[in-house]
Amino acid sequence: MRIAFGEPLYLKDAGKCPVCLKFLTGAAPTTNNREEPVWSPKVGDYSICMYCSTILRFEFNSQYKEADREDLLELQKNQPETFELLSKMVVAAQQMVAERRRKQKGKHRSH
C-alpha cells in the first residue's frame, strides 16, 4: 500500500507522544496541497505516532492527545475519506513498528 505524502515538516516545538513518550519532531501531510505551500498541522488534525502506531490528535501548543473512540467515530461520520486513509495508515504504521522491533531483536541476538 502506498500513500502519497507531501513534504515532511520539522516541528520545532515538538510534543511528546502521550503513549510511548517519544518526542515527535516531524510530521508529513497526506496530500500535496499546492494551494497551501507551507503546510502546518492544525488543532484537531490527526497524526500517527511512527514509534508506537497510536492515533494522535494535535492539540494547542503542539501537544498531542491519544485519539479516543468518540474522536474516531466523529471523524468516520464527518470525514469518511480521511477516516479511511487514517485506518490504512495505522496498519502501515503497525507494520513499521513490528519490523523495527524484529530488527532490534536481531541486533540483540548477535551481541
Q: Which residues bind Zn ion (CB under 5 A)?
A: 17, 19-20, 49, 51-52, 54
| Min CB(100)–Zn ion separation in Å | 12
Return the H-helix or E-strand segment holding 92: helix 80-110
| Min CB(72)–Zn ion separation in Å | 17
CB closer to Zn ion out of 47 and 54: 54
Residue 55 and residue 67 in contact, taking contact as beta carbons nearer than 8 Å: yes
Residue 26 and residue 9 in contact, taking contact as beta carbons nearer than 8 Å: yes
| Min CB(6)–Zn ion separation in Å | 22
CB closer to Zn ion out of 20 and 80: 20
CB closer to Zn ion out of 49 and 89: 49
Distances (CA, A) of 63 to 33, 88, 93, 103, 104: 24, 24, 20, 30, 29
